[in-house]
Amino acid sequence: MVVCVFGAAPSAEAQWRIASADQKTSVTFGVLAQPQVERLTAPDNTDAAKSFFFRRLRLIFGGKVTDRVSFFIDTDAPNVGKANAAGRKNEDAIFLQDAILTYTVRGSFLIDGGLMFVPASRHSTQSAANLLGVDYGAFAFTHSDPTNSRVGRDYGVQARGYVAKNHLEFRAGVFNGARGVGATAPLRYAVRAVWYPLEAETGIFYGGTYLGEKKVVSVGASVDHQDDYSAGSVDVYVDHPIAAGRQNVTAQVNYVRYDGGATFAQLPKQDVWFVEAGWFHKAAKAGPFLQWTSRQVVAAGLADETKVTGGLSYWAEGHRFNIKAGVARLTKTNAKDRTQLVVQGQVFMF
């Protein structure tokens, strides 16, 4: 016998859920939709590109097969309706974004397999559904194209565990990476460690902001490696309520040193920074955010880039429904500065 529950619960979890009568097996359905309007100054500053589109449009499936076996699958159709340089609107087919099967060896030790985020840094392992700002940093997935990944995801398996009463987290995985001719290239390896002096984040995705629902301080480091390519990152994240819980502050500093080496010559040695901070007022359901991200290439003659974004978010129903507006300034060596204006809505149920 199967029981179908269409969630009237106030939280975003378990909106649409089908479960067996004994609740041991279940499937949960969800959706993430981010309609967006954008105005971006052209490279020559003579005009601006203007678009209405869906930044993300995802169907989400998750659930458990047994008490130890669970799964998460979602699809994506990013930038649907956005015009390219030739003016043609993007209407590409939907594709698989994540497909993760998790086996719980014990409560604090798990094995994840499938298509998933490579834990190359904290910021690039955050969920798009609960970001603090409008989007990820402009250089969050610098490693994706060289390693033949899709928005930070790769196929592989990782061990994930939480020890010392969940104050320490580790992730260690092996992934496809770029397979090379005949799929004979060395495999890709990634490891990550995090210290949580307060509450831990025990999901496979990290949070962008918890809007006062958790007290999280994390200090982490990651290494991503394949053959002669390596990327090392360090990060600090704080998300904590203040003023007797009536307000919340969020801040993050994320640094990554990339070096493609001889393996990925198209990825020269470079330093990528991502810094953000935000404030949330619970009664007003709103607050500002500020982001700064930079890519500084070590080799002479190559362009450095910086993007600074400031904006305001209205968290009408938290991450379930919100509206964000931002203005950004983009600078690049030997190029004219550009301005980006964005308004994005979000509907998220899972």
At 27-58, the pLDDT tens digits run: 999 999 999 999 999 888 888 989 999 999 99
Q: Side chain identity at 331, as an amino acid letter?
A: T
**What pTM did the predictor assign?**
0.92
Q: To the nearest 5 percent, what fractions of the chain are helix, strand and coil? A: 5, 60, 40
Angle at 82 between CA 80 and CA 88, to 5 degrees: 110
- CA 122/CA 101 separation, integer angstroms: 21
For every residue of 265-276, DSSP letters joined together read TTS-SEEEEEEE
Report the 3 state secondary structure along 239-258.
EEEECCCCEEEEEEEEEEEE
Q: What is the residue whose two structure tokens read 């199967």?
A: 2
Work out whether the CA dihedral 38, 42, 48, 51 comes out positive or negative: negative
11 contact partners, CB below 8 Å, separation of at least 6: none
Pairing state of beta strands 321-332 and 2-6?
unpaired
Over 50: is that where the pLDDT of 236 sits?
Answer: yes
Distance (Å, rounded) from C-alpha 175 to C-alpha 275? 28
Residue 4: what pLDDT? Answer: 39
Domains of the chain, residue spans = 2-349
Would you call 56 exposed, middle or buried from its count of C-beta atoms within 10 A (0-12, 13-18, 19+)? buried
| Interval 138-180: pLDDT, tens | 999 999 999 999 999 999 999 999 999 999 999 999 999 999 9
CATH of domain 2-349: 2.40.160.10
pLDDT tens-digit profile of 114-124? Answer: 999 999 999 99
